[in-house]
Structure 1
Amino acid sequence: ADWHLTGMAIGGKPLKILVPQAECEIIDNWHVVGLAGTGSKDIKMDNVFIPDHRTIPIGEKGPLFDKAPIFRIPQWSVNPFSLVGVTIGIAQGAIDQFVEDMKTRASRFGSKVAEFQSLQLRLAESAAEVDAAKKIMLSDLRETMEFLEHNEALSIEMMARNKRDMAYCPILATRAVDRIFYAAGAGGLFLSEDIQRSFRDVHAGNKQIALNWDINGTTYGKVALGLDPAPVRW
């Protein structure tokens, strides 16, 4: 890549800025237990000038605001859904691989693991949680885009609902993976097994501050109870 799109704040106001790669130093510090492949390393910049045309004020109307619904999407109450999809995808991939593995796995005494009722129940519950997370996310996004396409502003109740759901879907995804990781038994502990990577990755994805349940759940609760939610930025 030739450019970095990153964030900063000036006088307490958050901005997105576009910086040439040549003016940045990549710090090799992304050594983590999960989502290691994202390469989410820090960057360092010294005495870099950022012209106005390479800045995007967050929370203000941009020049393309009236051009298309995509440019009217609120930063904090919609965009983090892109992070939610990561955790749901990890969970779905884990379930798919788990099903394939369990179809042919046998215990040390020759019993077919797929015939264990406990395993069947764990699979069913995890699959239901992932399907529920997908439906919640897609329903929220469709309703939000319908409002934006009709040039209608999102209500505080809808934005709070979105924030609640974008934090709850990763919880469902994480529970789903935890359950089948347990069901996979000791065989799932080997580094050669996909299930252990899914376990690590979904927990890492759930650590995103924008998906924090304590913050987003509290915001929803305040709005539902008629209290001032006080905007939160990360």
Structure 2
Amino acid sequence: MDHPIVAPGAAADPPGRAEALAEAIAAAAAEIEATRRIPPTLVEALHRSRLFRMLLPRSAGGDEVHPATYLLAIEAAARQDASVAWNLFVANSTVLIAAYLDPAVARTIFADPRSVLAWGPPNETIADAVPGGYRVSGRFDFASGCRLASWMGVHCRVREADGGLRQNHLGRPAIRTLIFPAAEARLLDNWNPIGLRGTASDSYTVGDVFVPEAFSSTREDPSLRREPGPLYAFTQQGLYAVGVAGVALGTGGAMLQQFVALAMTKAPRGQALLAEDALVQSEVARATAKLGAARAWLLSMLGEMHDAAEAGAALPVAERARLRLGCAQAIQASVEVADFAYKAAGVDAIFPGSPFERRFRDIHTLSQQIQSRAAHFTAVGQVMLGRAPVGFL
């Protein structure tokens, strides 16, 4: 059975809209690298393209696109600049919380068409349950896209009035997501890494912020979702991995494309063109197959899972594991292809401003992120062998 990659309708062409911005994204790449920020004019163009709203429910003013369409759009942006694509995927990942909020609250948060929600990963912070909501203080790190955000969030444990920690459905300390206006967070300008510099993944602090109960939810229990559409059968963690895979595929694919162009014109001293070298020919073919196979498999499974999703039900654990495997494989293949292109380009790859140098740093920064860890293969293998970790998402 064939599975559509792009769903019909007005919101069906985010990849085309991302490709239409290719020239603008490429032109801003040097400024993004130097300032660690996406220029306001490009941010505005991204908002007009609705690329921040691909995974937002239609009930909250979003486009609720097919997950394979989403992957292709992130990949298209990443071909030009990985930081732009990373900001897009993170912003789309955070809006998935809307499927777990009261629809009226979700509409309040995303009423402004330029609303962006940002947050950092959970840490040891504990919020206090108080009448009507929660109070929280703490520091959080790696808040990609926080410089674009109108709303911020934190993920933390909850201390009840009796002093005990709230438990989740698995009998573990629950992690609650609390959402509040971005003005209530203090951003720290401390993101200065070797790659993905334009993601502005800064730290932030909050001090005794009150968050109403309605502006909170949990990402731990997929059965609590309020949105029935097939997109939300995917766990938030699963779609997060899809976004990372899109950035990796676009970055690795662009490096391979740039090497092919170089090989058609570069002749090492006293030798024929690289394109005439039998080893180069073989390795280009192998790299193309490796990247294409990983990409095609991930697109195929996204189509199958979307088609099979049942209203109101989360994907079964076996399908979550298969998706995790597809994303991990796509990320690993992309890094391997990027490494081939960088090494094969020789000294042409080592200078700032080359088509390879920034992308090499970007994809190797991506390779250090949690979604890229080899441990995912172990976790998937445990599921496949009947030893699924409790609470696998």
TM-score, structure 2 length as denominator?
0.55
Stretch deviating more after TM superposition (35-44 or 109-118) = 109-118
Alignment of 1:1-234 (within 5 A): 1-10=149-158, 11=165, 12-60=173-221, 61-62=223-224, 64-66=226-228, 68-109=229-270, 111-148=272-309, 153-214=314-375, 216-231=376-391
Identity %: 27
Higher RCO (CA < 8 A, seq sep 6+): 1
Residue 315 of structure 2 aligns to which amino acid in structure 1?
A: L
Runs of 4+ in structure 1 displaced over 4 angstroms?
A: 149-153
CA deviation profile, 1:66-94 (whole Å, cap 9, x unmatched)? 3x222332123343211111101101111
Residue 35 of structure 1 aligns to which amino acid in structure 2?
A: L
Structure 2 vs 1, CA of residues 7 and 134 (structure 1 numbering), >3 Å: closer, same or farther?
same
Q: Could you tell me how far 1:176 is from its partner in structure 2? A: 0.5
Residue 88 of structure 1 aligns to which amino acid in structure 2?
A: L
The count of corresponding residues between Structure 1 and Structure 2 is 231
Q: Could you tell me how far 1:153 is from its partner in structure 2? A: 4.4
Q: Could you tell me how far 1:232 is from its partner in structure 2? A: 5.5
- Maintained 8 Å contact 1:81/1:166: yes
Stretch deviating more after TM superposition (12-21 or 41-50) = 12-21
| Structure 1 unaligned blocks of 5 or more | none
Please give the secondary structure, in 2, of the residue aligned with 1:174.
Answer: helix
Provide the rounded CA distance (Å) in 2 between the counterparts of 1:29 and 1:173: 28
- Maintained 8 Å contact 2:184/2:206: yes
Q: Could you tell me how far 1:118 is from its partner in structure 2? A: 1.9
Cα root mean square deviation, aligned: 2.1
Provide the rounded CA distance (Å) in 2 between the counterparts of 1:183 and 1:133: 21
* Greater helix fraction, Structure 1 or Structure 2: 1
- Maintained 8 Å contact 2:317/2:392: no
Please give the secondary structure, in 1, of the residue aligned with 2:308.
Answer: helix
Q: Could you tell me how far 1:121 is from its partner in structure 2? A: 1.9
Structure 2 vs 1, CA of residues 190 and 63 (structure 1 numbering), >3 Å: closer, same or farther?
closer
TM-score, structure 1 length as denominator?
0.88
- Maintained 8 Å contact 1:125/1:176: no
Provide the rounded CA distance (Å) in 2 between the counterparts of 1:190 and 1:32: 18
- Maintained 8 Å contact 2:234/2:315: no
Provide the rounded CA distance (Å) in 1 between the counterparts of 2:303 and 2:199: 28
Stretch deviating more after TM superposition (118-127 or 169-178) = 118-127
